Amino acid sequence: MKVKDVPQDDEFLQPDGDVLLRDRTYALDDDGKYREIPSAGWAPKNEAIKFSWSYKSEEAQEIRKEVIAGKYSPIMYHMIRLLMTPRILADYTGLSKRKINKLCKPKHFAFIKAEDLSHIADAMNISVEELTSID
């Protein structure tokens, strides 16, 4: 790759602007020497990232419909939306994987302890109110 071809396709908003996350691309200059050029991003990479997220959000929308239909509890919806799996959630909260799977069903979710609820909300980095609704 040549220095002039280093892409600068910035697309994602950074929560902390001071850090300024950047790629650093190694590219050849006109004399055939390697130079380091900071790069803001590259369109194909950004599209791959956006595609993965849109795939997940579509999956989450499907689950949302089933939550409304009474098949799953809101935990299931948020778990899919936030790229979690029962295994990872179990590791974060200290609950068993079986317990997490159980809480994904409305009839067990109805009797959930406040303590477990706050643990799960904490692991997902959202508030308890968000966790119990599907908006």
Residue numbers at the binding site for other proteins (CB under 8 A): 1, 12-16, 18-28, 32-34, 36, 38-39, 42-45, 47-53, 55, 83, 85, 88, 91-92, 125
Please, which residue, 34 or 111, has the CB nearer to other proteins?
34
Nearest approach in angstroms of CB 122 to other proteins is 9
- Closer residue to other proteins (CB): 32 or 111: 32
Question: From the CB of 110, what's the least distance to other proteins, in Å?
Answer: 27
Find out whether 103 and 75 touch, Cβ atoms under 8 Å: yes
- Residue reference for tokens 């380091």: 36
Polymer length of the chain: 135
- Tell me the two tokens of residue 130: 């968000």
Scan for tokens 């990872």, then name that residue: 88
Encoded amino acid at 53, one letter:
W
C-beta of 53 vs 70, nearer to other proteins: 53
Write out the two tokens for 56.
């997940």
Q: Which is nearer to other proteins, 8 or 52 (CB)?
A: 52
Give the span between the Cα atoms of 17 and 35, in whole angstroms.
26
